[in-house]
Amino acid sequence: MPREITYPVAVRALEKWKNNNLEILDRSDGAVHFRFLFNGSTCNNGGTPFKAYLHAVFNSSEMDPCLSKAWIEVPEDEMENVREMCGFKQHGDTFLDKLSQFEKMKGRPVSEILDEDSEVNHAGCFCTEPMINQKWRMALSTMYYALAQDE
Q: What is the pLDDT along the chain (151 residues), one digit of tens a residue?
A: 566 788 888 999 999 999 999 999 999 888 999 999 999 999 877 889 999 999 999 887 677 899 999 999 999 999 999 999 999 999 999 999 999 888 889 999 998 999 888 889 888 999 999 999 999 999 999 999 998 887 6
pLDDT at 151: 60
Work out the widest C-alpha separation in the chain, in whole angstroms.
Answer: 45
pLDDT at 30: 85
pLDDT at 22: 98
Range 48-57, long-range pairs (CB < 8 A, 24+ positions): 48/81, 48/84, 49/81, 50/74, 50/78, 50/81, 50/82, 51/75, 51/78, 52/78, 52/82, 52/99, 52/126, 54/135, 54/136, 54/139, 55/25, 56/110, 56/139, 56/140, 56/143, 57/31, 57/32, 57/33
pLDDT at 23: 97
